[in-house]
Homo-oligomer: A and B are copies of this chain.
Amino acid sequence: MQRNATAAVIGAGDYIGAAIASRFAAEGYQVFAGRRTADKLGALKSEIESAGGRCEARGLDARKEDDITQFLAEADAAAPLEVCIFNVGANVNVPILDTTERVFRKVWEMGCYAGFLTGREAARLMLPHGRGTILFTGATASVRGGIGYAAFAAAKFGLRAVAQSMARELGPKNIHVAHLVIDAGVDTAFVRERIKARGGEAALKNLLPDTLMNPLSIANAYWMLHSQTRDAWTFELDLRPYGETW
């Protein structure tokens, strides 16, 4: 079933973003996938299309207002923008004295400022349609400022504030804004490398099943939030594997 509606994913580059894009494509949405380098979206586009879905891949710098505005406008021109997902991250851990102003600013621009631009522009396009869903990807650092996370947590706390403020303002206008706190490692090549670097080949081999999050499972949570009827919307939920210590 094809829907006459678009779903935009900003930050479609990593595992989560790609899984979300595929999930919404599988539900009939025309997906607009954006990330820094368009070339890197080729595999995702092929995968979606070979499964019978529709995907437009675009390169964009999420920290540039014009890029965001144009990307979302293009999506909305193709078909009404119904879903917008902000999934740009910039997880860094640096001792406070070594956190340069450049890093602090860049992490914020990617993790918070870009999210604000995305949310605001999505809302601008959705309000005339009278409906829409805007979802923000959060992390442990959205609710806890741990050691070394001054930059990352400042961005993630800030993004959560944007999401809360938008949810309260836009909910009554039938725009569902939600925030997902992803509180553990996702099963990516990067995370597996890190486990190996820390604990050796054995650590990787002994990894218990389902102790890393499958991007597909996360994508299902985004889909579920979008599927909620408006009489019972969720603003925030957390996600972690069964074995996680928290």
- A: which residues have CB within 8 A of B? 65, 95-97, 99, 101, 104-105, 108, 112-113, 116-117, 119-120, 123-124, 127, 141, 144-151, 153-172, 174, 176, 187, 210-214, 217-218, 220-221, 224, 228-246
Contacts and interface: CB of A to CB of B under 8 A. Distances in A.
Given A153-B165, A160-B145, A231-B211, A172 B243 contact: yes
Identify which of A157, A211, A221, A234 gathers the most chain B CB atoms within 10 Å of its CB: A157
Contacts of A123: 96-97
B165 A156 contact: no
Q: Is the interface of A mostly helix, strand, loop or mixed?
A: helix
One complex includes copies of this chain to the number of: 4
Contact of A241 (B108, B119, B153, B232): B232
Contacts of A119: 96, 150
Contacts of A210: 229-231
Contacts of A151: 116
Nearest to A95: B169
Identify which of A124, A141, A232 gathers the most chain B CB atoms within 10 Å of its CB: A232
Given A150-B165, A161-B153, A231 B246 contact: no
A237 to B, nearest CB: 4
